[in-house]
Amino acid sequence: MSSNAIAITGLGVLSPIGCNIAELADSISTARSGISLIDAPPLARSFAAGVIDRDFTKLFKPLERPFLDRCQQMAILAADQAIEHAGLGDLSELGVRAGVHYGNVNGGVSTAQAWYQQLLNNGAQAARPFSAMAIMGNAGAAHISIRHGIRGPVLTHATACASSGVAIAEAARAIATGRLDVAIAGGAEAPLTASLIGVFDGTRALSKPDPEDPARTCKPFSIDRSGLVLGEGAAFLVLESIAHAQARGADIIGYVAGSGIASDAHHIGMPQSEGQILTLRDALRDAGLSPRDIDYINAHATATNGGDEIESTSLRTVFGDGSDAPRVSSTKSVHGHLLGATSALEAVITLVAMERSILPATAHLDNIDPDCALRHIQVTPVPDHPIRAALSFSCGFGGTNVALVFTREHWS
């Protein structure tokens, strides 16, 4: 493994399958689905979505609330969890040696939609005060910085579905090169509004709800798959140099052993295997590992027709699909696609799976598409299965791909 491996000392999550790490672990051990039906007025029909059935507004002071869209509320709370888990608090003493790397695509969608409604329906001539701060894409990162006294680089990455994975990779790189000692890395997204759901419905990529059980709507790799399901949430990791973590006696959960980022340079909305293969091989090279060192892959697989086939081809090319290949699953089957936050959530799921020795399943994968042949974990999670090294893979519109390699132990 690379000598530049980065310690992971804290995890935090708000997701459709758990609003803390214990809830998340319980869900991935049972393949519990967090997908249900929602309405999004004024859209006329219902949609399947990965929903967090909680209102977080009252967790913030009245003077804070005007600045905070639901997206930023979740970013703050998930980052708070991760920082507390790491045993950290006020990071101001680190000066520029602590930073935030944040992934987000859509900013404060609810706030933006509310303003459009006021403008177009009510003839309002100006938005309510502080709307600009609640809408902007970097607001989640800014609030985390303000809340915890983080004075180093506070950067927001917007590379579609790869956004928060790129944030984690770049945070790890900043530590590996000596720029930072501590980084809070992850992402948040709150896209369950009519304005954004309608945009994705317009791409013809959204799945219609399963008529028998909406919780089974998302079916990655399945011959029966019919499209993606949107979800909401936030997830964060605390990354530290090994020296910094050891000096303060921190518990180390695992390591970012390496990462790869590469682009398809092909099409704004259609992936291609060549860029994905480059990404996967670059991540293995960076980690100093071979394909056979990887025990588990959390795949991007969104349950779209072309996307799942192309990704399967990429994974087979690099890892094979025989009995010695890594086990593969897509947990989007239970939490949906969190867009800019999906990489971070799946990274956290991968790390929890490593810590608990669970292989998460692709729920509802009763009938594998032959074009998606891999060493799948179907329907039911596998308990008591040690994972020494794992890879989490994400691919974004525009062609940016990111692969994160995690290890349970630090070995060379």
Nearest to residue 101, comparing CAs of 149, 152, 29, 65? Answer: 152
CB-CB contact of 105 with 398 (8 Å): no
List the catalytic residue out of 19, 71, 161, 372. Answer: 161
Q: 372 an active-site residue? A: no
DSSP secondary structure, 146-191, as one string: HHHT--S-EEEE--GGGHHHHHHHHHHHHHHTTS-SEEEEEEEE--
What is the strand order of the sheet 389-395 is part of?
154-157, 98-103, 182-189, 233-240, 6-14, 254-263, 400-407, 389-395, 296-298, 327-329
Q: 337 an active-site residue? A: yes
CB-CB contact of 255 with 7 (8 Å): yes
List the catalytic residue out of 148, 300, 335, 364. Answer: 300
Dihedrals phi, psi of 362, to nearest 5 degrees: -85, 100
Residues in Cβ contact with 132 at an 8 Å cutoff, skipping those fewer than 6 apart: none
Burial of 184 (0-12, 13-18, 19+ CB in 10 A): buried
List the catalytic residue out of 85, 148, 244, 337. Answer: 337
Q: How many C-beta neighbours within 10 Å does residue 147 have?
A: 15
Nearest to residue 205, comparing CAs of 224, 231, 230, 227? Answer: 227
* Beta bridge mates, 157: 103
What residue type is 401 in one-letter code? Answer: N
Pairing of strands 35-39, 46-50: antiparallel
Per-residue tokens: 11: 């995890």
**Alpha helices per DSSP H over 266-362:** 273-287, 305-319, 332-335, 342-356
Per-residue tokens: 302: 């969104």
CB-CB contact of 175 with 6 (8 Å): yes
Active site residues: 161, 300, 337
